[in-house]
Amino acid sequence: MSAEDRRTAILDAATGLLSTHPWEEVTVALLLEAAGISKGGFYHHFTSKDDVLAAVLLRLSDACTAAGQTVYDRSEGDAVARFTAYLAGTTRWELGQADKIMGVIRIALMEGNETIFLGLEQEARRRATPLMRRLVTEGVAEGVFDVIDIDMTVDLLQHAWRMRWVVLAQARRRCARGDPEGGRAMLEERLRLEELMTNRLLGCRETAVRMPASGEFSDFLNSA
Amino acid sequence: MSAEDRRTAILDAATGLLSTHPWEEVTVALLLEAAGISKGGFYHHFTSKDDVLAAVLLRLSDACTAAGQTVYDRSEGDAVARFTAYLAGTTRWELGQADKIMGVIRIALMEGNETIFLGLEQEARRRATPLMRRLVTEGVAEGVFDVIDIDMTVDLLQHAWRMRWVVLAQARRRCARGDPEGGRAMLEERLRLEELMTNRLLGCRETAVRMPASGEFSDFLNSA
């Protein structure tokens, strides 16, 4: 295996384990076994299993940005339509990776991990920023968005969306506990607030940007 | 000295040193000497000098919140006027502590420190949240604010304001380099954006919340 292939094998193994094991039970030995890599090969690329987790998270975020870019490239209509398509595309991608994302969130919410994840979250957002910036800039040029400042708006939009997966996790737990209506209502309220805030920040003039419909999340909500 | 007095003495010494020394040059020995405390007394309260820095930062943030509370308690008029008074009060307090705040920001912006400060910033904001929440809630009840969601609004307001001291630092450097007009313009643009964003997030109906005037910052800008 080339060095790059080894790195990828480790990340693939970690991503797989993340979906199936509590991360605190994942050891470097388990990672080595799953990836078919020697100890030396591992430490050539990473300093610890948490170092691997950080790389997994950034790779997920790059893949999500790439999915958003693909949807954006194919989208048509004005900036409002393209922004809506981008939101739908990234959400669909995220839902396809839900088990991994939930694994990461579970670790992030554990005592003592908060600070590490704040830094990673910031880095993940930074990677999504150029495309977001482009979407907003185009809407301003087309006169469909009326923003106060492009960079500030992109920053606040990302901040406004950041808790969605935490709410999704809570909503799914509620469904699993036998309250599917409560779970769905929770999700719908969150999407409603994010949609209103997104439109306010973008200063949408005639038509509004839409968040994905709650129906898109049905499989996820019922999969716990 | 009581344990509590010792802790305060250490924090006071650290706060003083922060204004006068680059933090990387501050040693535990220097802190002990400045505070007149034994090594044992020090390690009873703190694990490291960075642990002290975190406590200094949270104490500063508590004092700022207390200053905001005092101004708020004395303020009159509708929620717009009270919010404006709160912004003026906290800004005035911050400007009075500018050398300490600038010391903290300088450390925060240094390579490798970002993650630690993200956590501290989050904790500092959390402490200011109850008063902010009250200010927004009252404005909604009076019908002068029209917010999408109180908690989301408070969170985004705090996020929108977070870069101000970084811009202030840049503006002051610019003044010190012989471009006072450029420095002042930078600050004014920042205050203008924050004011517009604050009003958009609050959904101010008739009258607008005002940021402090740039003149309030003159002494600071010219003090480098």
CATH number at residue B136: 1.10.357
Residues of chain B neighbouring A193 (CB-CB closer than 8 A): 148-149, 152
pLDDT at A188: 96
Residues across chain B: 224
B131 lies in the same domain as B22: no
Q: Which of A118, A155, A160 sits opposite B152 (nearest CB)?
A: A160
How distant, in Å, are the alpha carbons of A158, B197, B222 from that of A162? 6, 19, 39
Residue A87 buriedness (CB in 10 A; 0-12 / 13-18 / 19+) = buried
Judged against a pLDDT cut of 90, whether residue A118 lies above it is answered with no
Phi, psi of A32, rounded to the nearest 5 degrees: -60, -45
- Measured between CB atoms, does A116 come within 8 Å of chain B? yes
- Closest-CA distance, B210 to chain A, in angstroms, reads 16
Number of domains in chain B: 2
| Cα nearest neighbour of B120 on chain A | A115
Cβ contact B119–A115 (<8 Å):
yes
A165 lies in the same domain as A73: yes
DSSP B104-144: HHHHHTSTT-HHHHHHHHHHHHHHHHHHHHHHHHHHHHHTS
pLDDT at B117: 82
Cβ contact A196–B148 (<8 Å):
yes
| Cα nearest neighbour of B115 on chain A | A119
- Closest-CA distance, B9 to chain A, in angstroms, reads 28
Q: Which of A118, A193, A203 sits opposite B148 (nearest CB)?
A: A193
A25 lies in the same domain as A93: no
pLDDT at B198: 98
pLDDT at B143: 95
In percent, the amount of chain B with pLDDT more than 70 equals 100
- Measured between CB atoms, does A193 come within 8 Å of chain B? yes
CA B84 distance to own-chain centroid: 16
Residues of chain B neighbouring A158 (CB-CB closer than 8 A): none
A8 lies in the same domain as A77: no
The answer to whether A85 and A209 are in contact (CB under 8 A) is no
What is the mean predicted confidence (pLDDT) over A142-171? Answer: 95
pLDDT at B19: 79
- Measured between CB atoms, does A152 come within 8 Å of chain B? yes
B42 lies in the same domain as B61: no
Look up the CATH number of the domain holding residue A21. 1.10.10.60
∠ CA B6-B66-B133, nearest 5°, is 130
- Measured between CB atoms, does A114 come within 8 Å of chain B? yes
pLDDT at A67: 93
Q: Which of A133-142, A166-175, B112-121, B141-150 has the lowest mean pLDDT?
A: B112-121
d(CA B131, CA A171): 29
B118 lies in the same domain as B8: no
- Closest-CA distance, B199 to chain A, in angstroms, reads 11
What is the mean predicted confidence (pLDDT) over A42-47? Answer: 92
Q: Which of A116, A160, A196 sits opposite B156 (nearest CB)?
A: A160
B70 lies in the same domain as B28: no
A54 lies in the same domain as A164: yes
Cβ contact B160–A156 (<8 Å):
yes
The ipTM (two decimal places) reads 0.89
Domain span at residue A30? 1-46
| Cα nearest neighbour of A157 on chain B | B156
The answer to whether A108 and A122 are in contact (CB under 8 A) is no
A121 lies in the same domain as A42: no
Residues of chain A neighbouring B193 (CB-CB closer than 8 A): 148-149, 152
